[in-house]
Structure 1
Amino acid sequence: MDKKKVLVAGATGYLGQFIVKELTKRNHEVRVLIRKESQKKLFSDIDDFFIGEITAPNSLKGVCEDIDWVFTSVGITRQKDGLTYMDVDYQGNSNLLQEAKRSGVDSFLYVSAIGGDKLRHLKIFEAKERFVDELKSSSLNYTIMRPNGFFSDMRDFLDMAKSGKVYLFGEGEFKLNPIHGEDLAKVCVDNINVENNEVIVGGPDMLSQNELALLALNAWDKKPGIVHLPDWIRKFTIWFLRTFTSSKTYGPIEFFLTLMAFDNMAEEVGEHHLVDFFKAEVEKKKRK
């Protein structure tokens, strides 16, 4: 593949850092969009930085100049800085898209999530999928990545398991195959220049929620301690949070609890296994 110049937005996040490494490994030139000067120290092999706020379009002027491909995983799944999903997941990425169109980039890759097109009623997907629609109707070649959850998202199970108990809703038999950031980065770079592409992808291990819980408990050397709660508690929790808290509070929980209620199975790819990730995470936690 010819050497390309690639802009990476969301580079300081879990997936973004792996994307930068994968692009560099394949000898592409990388420009990283960061919000502040101090974030430069997160990247050892990059010397092309653009400082700007994705929610402030004037600060992005020229960000895509001389860029062939744009990659963005920008979103506020974990952030808490007063901005809404619409501010960042939709409008921020839309601001970036306008710059990409102005500069005539070849391809634009955006990371949403599995099932987003069918779960638009969730706050987080309302914004993400509005941007997906805008990207698809743009004149650019696009790729929509729909990963089946990141390994980093599974830390919630690991944190729960530390106490010796993992709480699941229903029977715990719904299946999922989350993917490691490094494996997903390879899939992203493989697909970024495929014309008008949508990729649903997961990791190599298809696990039931019960199996996932056992992996988390085993990582802490805990005896199996899985508590199955009736599903009405999950539904009531979503209703209660939607009714009495802001979208910033309930958005991530609504997302997590909704996806726990059915199978999320995607193409199985990659070399990293969740059992190894859990072991490494526990070792890190024990060293702190």
Structure 2
Amino acid sequence: MTNKSKRVLLAGATGYLGNYLLSALKREGYWVRVLVRSDAQRERVSLADEILIGEVTKPETIKGITHSIDFVISTIGITRQKDGMTYMDVDYQGNMNLLKEAMSTSVERFQYISAINGDKLRHLKIFEAKERFVDQLKDSGLNYSIIRPNGFFSDMGDFFEMAKTGHVWLFGKGDKRLNPIDGEDLAKVCILKMQSSERECTVGGPDILSHREIGQLALTALDKKIKIICLPDFLRIFIIKLLRTFTSSKTYGPYEFFLTAMADDNIAPQYGQKHLADFFKEKAL
């Protein structure tokens, strides 16, 4: 069966990765159905062959959504809480509602996009929900593909925003390393893995960089002097504890994740052709 004969349901098409996935799927010749939350989002997914309006958190609005679909790709998840929803509401239950539809029509494969080391960081709120869904997906009886990408280039925007002030603030020595990946490169990997026999895949970009090096790239792109200030690591730990004590998971969840991730190397197998230095240079224009 050719790509043109394959039908894909893409959930999360209006997000950072989803947008790249839609473009890449169409370039590869797939027929694509997308799910959006409102009519106002139609323009953002105009490349799709079919646009359905519904919300994964409201199962009655997605009834029959996987009818005639071969592959489901879900990028559904929230980084910063919105609309009063929690990680369990969206990352877990929303994806579960989608999975139940997929199981009812026996799709060929269900691909879910989690994040690097999610299986090792289940104690964090953001991963508690994601990996609980992963468990259910593995037990569903469906053929599945789990992609765990490193940080996106867009996530490195925090370094860029700091660099605009002329300083970049880091914890510890700033020597922890990662290899963030561009959305276009990641979309290509997702499509490649969608039809492979590999069930789980961790993915990163081509350049392995320390936090200090990322800060330097951001400052250089903005034509700023290299001013990097390293704070004692105990402050990072104190901030996490403070947030957990005085705020709800809706507030502290994303900060808990980013601050925890900063304490270790997060290096994934290297893919892609896009470089973070070029991304920063484009943002600086």
**Which TM-score tier does this pair reach, normalised by the shorter chain?**
over 0.9
1:257 is paired with a residue whose SS is helix
The answer to whether the 8 A contact 2:31-2:49 is kept is: no
Are 1:140 and 2:164 an aligned pair?
no
Seq. identity, %: 60
- Which of 253, 272, 275 does residue 270 from structure 1 map onto? 272
Distance in 1, matches of 2:21 and 2:140, equals 24
Q: How does 1:103-142 map to 2 (within 5 A)?
A: 103-142=105-144
Question: Where does structure 2 lack aligned partners over 5 or more consecutive residues?
Answer: none
Q: How does 1:102-251 map to 2 (within 5 A)?
A: 102-195=104-197, 197-251=199-253
In the alignment, which residue of structure 1 is the partner of 2:97? 95
Q: CA deviation at 1:9?
A: 0.4
Deviations 1:158-197 (A, max 9, x none): 0011001111110111110000000000000000123461
The answer to whether the 8 A contact 1:219-1:278 is kept is: yes
Q: CA deviation at 1:80?
A: 1.8
Instruction: Calculate the aligned-residue CA RMSD, in Å.
Output: 1.0
The answer to whether the 8 A contact 1:141-1:193 is kept is: no
Distance in 2, matches of 1:54 and 1:198, equals 24
In the alignment, which residue of structure 2 is the partner of 1:25? 27
The answer to whether the 8 A contact 2:8-2:31 is kept is: yes
Q: CA deviation at 1:47?
A: 3.4
Question: Where does structure 1 lack aligned partners over 5 or more consecutive residues?
Answer: 284-288
2:186 is paired with a residue whose SS is helix
Distance in 2, matches of 1:51 and 1:114, equals 30
The answer to whether the 8 A contact 2:80-2:250 is kept is: no
1:267 is paired with a residue whose SS is coil
Are 1:2 and 2:2 an aligned pair?
yes
Q: CA deviation at 1:38?
A: 1.3
Q: CA deviation at 1:46?
A: 1.9
- Which of 226, 236, 255 does residue 253 from structure 1 map onto? 255
Distance in 1, matches of 2:128 and 2:47, equals 36
In the alignment, which residue of structure 2 is the partner of 1:286? none
4+ residue segments displaced more than 6 Å:
none
Deviations 1:54-103 (A, max 9, x none): 10011110110000000001111034211000000000000000000001
Q: 1:244–1:79: structure 2 CA closer, same or farther, 3 Å change rule?
A: closer
How many residue pairs match? The answer is 283
Letter in 2 for 1:179: I
The answer to whether the 8 A contact 1:141-1:195 is kept is: no
Distance in 2, matches of 1:138 and 1:47, equals 28
2:67 is paired with a residue whose SS is coil
2:65 is paired with a residue whose SS is coil
Q: CA deviation at 1:280?
A: 1.1
Distance in 1, matches of 2:220 and 2:198, equals 42
Are 1:83 and 2:85 an aligned pair?
yes
Letter in 2 for 1:172: G
Q: 1:124–1:134: structure 2 CA closer, same or farther, 3 Å change rule?
A: same
Distance in 1, matches of 2:198 and 2:95, equals 18
- Which of 67, 70, 74 does residue 69 from structure 2 map onto? 67
Q: CA deviation at 1:219?
A: 1.2
Deviates more, 1:192-201 or 1:212-221: 192-201
